[in-house]
Amino acid sequence: MKPELRVGVAGLGTVGASMVRQLQKKSNAFAARCGRTVRVAAVSARTRGRDRGIDLADVTWFDDPAALAAAPDIDVFVELIGGDSGPAEDSVRAALAAGKHVVTANKALLARHGVELARLAEDNGVSLSFEAAVAGGIPIVKTMRESMAGNDVSRVYGILNGTCNYILTRMEQDGLDFAACLAEAQRVGYAEADPTFDIEGNDTAHKLAILTSLAFGCEIDVDAIYLEGIASITSADIQAADELGYRIKLLGVAQRTDTGIEQRVHPTMVPKTSAIARIDGVLNAVAIDADVVGEVVLAGPGAGGNATASAVLADVADIARDIRVPVLGQPVAGLAPYKAAGMRMHEGGYYIRLAVYDRPGAFAEIARIMAVESISLESIMQRDRAGAKAGEAGAPQPVTLITYETTEAAVKRALATISAQNVIAGTPQMIRIEKLA
Amino acid sequence: MKPELRVGVAGLGTVGASMVRQLQKKSNAFAARCGRTVRVAAVSARTRGRDRGIDLADVTWFDDPAALAAAPDIDVFVELIGGDSGPAEDSVRAALAAGKHVVTANKALLARHGVELARLAEDNGVSLSFEAAVAGGIPIVKTMRESMAGNDVSRVYGILNGTCNYILTRMEQDGLDFAACLAEAQRVGYAEADPTFDIEGNDTAHKLAILTSLAFGCEIDVDAIYLEGIASITSADIQAADELGYRIKLLGVAQRTDTGIEQRVHPTMVPKTSAIARIDGVLNAVAIDADVVGEVVLAGPGAGGNATASAVLADVADIARDIRVPVLGQPVAGLAPYKAAGMRMHEGGYYIRLAVYDRPGAFAEIARIMAVESISLESIMQRDRAGAKAGEAGAPQPVTLITYETTEAAVKRALATISAQNVIAGTPQMIRIEKLA
């Protein structure tokens, strides 16, 4: 048997505590699977005294995670502190520089510094593993890095944020508006007191940036991601989507095009019959379109202490088994620079909802502007606004349009022109439709 | 860079040809991912001359796969011959004995000889990889062997045979009967001329036997699997399932119980809202219930030359990257003997369809017999038989029962007693209901 593997864990929140608990409880089974004993040798956290339901009697305590990272007592450093700088970054760098393998659940850190840290790991001949950083308990990183080795990926997309998916699911199932569902998500602990980071799509973007690199063998560029959150989605959109055979999901999509690689995070209409449409509540799912295998979809819990700990434990097991894979699927020197496809070049169908003034010629004018931009309409849905007073002549009527495939630039131009005429009230709503099998 | 990895491929059907084509086409990208060149050095097949769309000019030809398996020209032997004995078995044994890594898509071989071959691989210090043997392009073997390392699995289940799922999907979507859908499956190439092996569940059983070993760390016992095919499923069952909120799928299920491990393959009623219910056509899906992660579901193409080749290529990449994992997730010496839970001990809900004679007391007698066996009924659905002549007194009427959770033994006893009375026509239909999240 190989010598014992000594693990140091920095950060003892729900993930860290769960991971330590499982390693202690299952030490024999885990050793049988890994071919060696794996022991939590040292930990670090902000508060020492707290009862976390784990036995730290024989575990060395460090106040400073960076000191733990470089300590001779450990072979693997598990970073569960969080944040793209500060103690998380410092300790990960210290561990890699000291020749320790690193396991992290930190998507922000990787989205910002992934390529640099991958190089540092390579230079020091150690692993940098991050299964837990993308889609929690779903083994998407391993699938991308290892199972897709014979494939060229054309698109990877997914529901990567449980908070947003919970809110959109509740809006659909209970007919509530965004604010009510957000409040409910906060009440049950699925959304933070400040939910900005989730609902504006930043969390999804961090995960997508990592997936993009794994899918296309390119460098990570989180700042290049087109970002649109879910706060603008109304009950009217949810209802119209339902009537048109769609559901609305916040997707992260990375897609190879003729001009580069699209990276976009936005509310998306997906056909009800698609696998991704059926992922409800806080679940996550990731789909991979690839040339040899076709489409593979992985679904499961994207967050939570235990599910995330499961992914961390899988990474630790890989290290214990001496499984070494290039951090981003291939050596850093082989990564291509990220080449963005401009969002205005994006091609797809669009859902457009307008409040059209109820007077002669208004709709004709809209149709004319669409035609000028060569946008063909697949469907037009017009109905009396719920609650509109009978005989309220001239009041705006909701009109929903679905376009055939066109370009983002054409739609943006058309909507700008329409807004400049005196034919609609308020701002047009526009939601991209994702073409799915 | 590590030295070139030389691959020998035995069997050049659709999978073998696709795999060789991809390796030749993507040699640079594959080398970048694996850290070494991977080259098809030798092949073997039954017919030498045939045009397979691959370049065999610089590839050594072997008429005898066992000779290829032991040839000094190769480092990895890829077995795509098929069958649980004969050339497939002989050549895999020869390769392992000669110290070659083996990649195989052969579920029958593994279901029969998996433990023995795993021991042989261990003794010779080589890999035996079989991602392609279970659920084709879905990375379920890697997920079970590696990503679940920190988990105790309580149940693994899935749709593992595309032929059966295609037939059941067509029956549901088009309202056709079993025979018509089977004929259609044969016409489009989704079913063999002799479809027995698929529709009686044997193919599913082979895959399940392997999953059971990976899930529970036990030896493989394919003969212990309870087996029921889909030929008995009628349009009436499909329709009743639909009305009751279920769909009928052929599932393979392995589940830990208090008395041992259940392994069963049978038509199963699954709630329409479950992830597994939504897998249509020839797709496969596997769900894992585990203590730390919760439930993870993987879906994708379960068969086809390219999808299967994708899994073979992933195994070859692992070998090229020196990734070594115990064949069945842990060393053979650590595998527990398979301890079966008797099928009569199975607990669950049941769907029962009876043709009840339309005369006083018939239904009361059935209800009495159910009560004697302590079977509680969740629903009773009775309606005039479609096509029954009005006023045809005494003609049997279809009655559909859904039971609350009970035991297989109780249901079997109740149905035997009912059949012995003169209250029903024909044989009762019974379909198990799987409890799903």
Q: Is B27 in the A-facing interface, judged by CB distances under 8 Å? A: no
Q: What ipTM was reported for this prediction?
A: 0.95
Could you tell me where in chain B the CATH 3.40.50.720 domains are found?
A: 5-104
Collect all residues with Cβ–Cβ distance below 8 Å to B353 and sequence separation of at least 6. B236, B237, B240, B398, B399, B400, B401, B428, B429, B430
> How much is the pLDDT for B391?
47
Catalytic residue among B100, B107, B207, B249: B207
- Using CB atoms and an 8 Å cut-off, which of residues 123-142 of chain B contact chain A? 131, 137-139, 142
pLDDT tens digits along B399-423 = 999 999 999 999 999 999 999 998 9
The one-letter code for the residue type at B178 is F
Apex B113 CA angle, B108 and B119, nearest 5: 140
> How much is the pLDDT for A395?
79
Which residue from B267, B235, B233 is spatially nearest to B252, judged by alpha carbons?
Answer: B267
CATH superfamily, domain A5-104, is NAD(P)-binding Rossmann-like Domain (3.40.50.720)
The verdict on domain A145-301+336-343 having CATH code 3.30.360.10 is yes
Collect all residues with Cβ–Cβ distance below 8 Å to A45 and sequence separation of at least 6. A10, A11, A12, A16
Contacts of A295 in chain B (CB under 8 A): 300-301
pLDDT tens digits along B207-256 = 999 999 999 999 999 999 999 999 999 999 999 999 999 999 999 999 99
- Statement: residue B378 has pLDDT above 50: yes
The verdict on domain B146-301+337-343 having CATH code 3.30.360.10 is yes
Could you tell me where in chain B the CATH 3.30.360.10 domains are found?
A: 146-301+337-343
CB B397 within 8 A of CB B388: yes
- Statement: residue B357 has pLDDT above 60: yes
Contacts of A148 in chain B (CB under 8 A): 310, 314
Q: Cα separation of B27 and A217, whole Å?
A: 15
pLDDT tens digits along A40-92 = 999 999 999 899 999 999 999 999 999 999 999 999 999 999 999 999 999 99
> How much is the pLDDT for A391?
47
Nearest residue, CB atoms, B301 vs list A294, A299, A313: A294
Collect all residues with Cβ–Cβ distance below 8 Å to B2 and sequence separation of at least 6. B35, B36, B322
Choose the CATH number for B346-433 among 3.30.70.260, 3.30.230.70, 1.10.260.40, 3.40.50.300. 3.30.70.260
Torsion sign over Cα B81, B86, B88, B94: negative
The one-letter code for the residue type at A282 is V
Residue of B nearest to A332 (CA): B32
> How much is the pLDDT for A389?
47
Radius of gyration of chain A (CA): 24
pLDDT tens digits along A87-121 = 999 999 999 999 999 999 999 999 999 999 999 99
Residue B207 annotated to the active site: yes
Could you tell me where in chain A the CATH 3.30.360.10 domains are found?
A: 145-301+336-343
Catalytic residue among A100, A107, A142, A207: A207
- Statement: residue B123 has pLDDT above 50: yes
pLDDT tens digits along A287-313 = 999 999 999 999 999 999 999 999 999
Band (B387; pLDDT cuts 50, 70, 90): very low
Band (A431; pLDDT cuts 50, 70, 90): very high
Q: What average pLDDT score do residues B280-302 get?
A: 97
- Statement: residue B12 has pLDDT above 80: yes
> From the CB of residue B355, how many other CB atoms can be counted at a distance below 10 Å?
19
* Contact state of B292 with A313 under an 8 Å Cβ cutoff: yes
pLDDT tens digits along A132-190 = 999 999 999 999 999 999 999 999 999 999 999 999 999 999 999 999 999 999 999 99
Band (A208; pLDDT cuts 50, 70, 90): very high
Q: What average pLDDT score do residues B368-376 get?
A: 96
* Contact state of A292 with B275 under an 8 Å Cβ cutoff: no
Which residue from A184, A103, A88 is spatially nearest to A141, judged by alpha carbons?
Answer: A103
From the number of C-beta atoms within 10 Å of its C-beta (0-12, 13-18, 19+), residue A243 rates as exposed
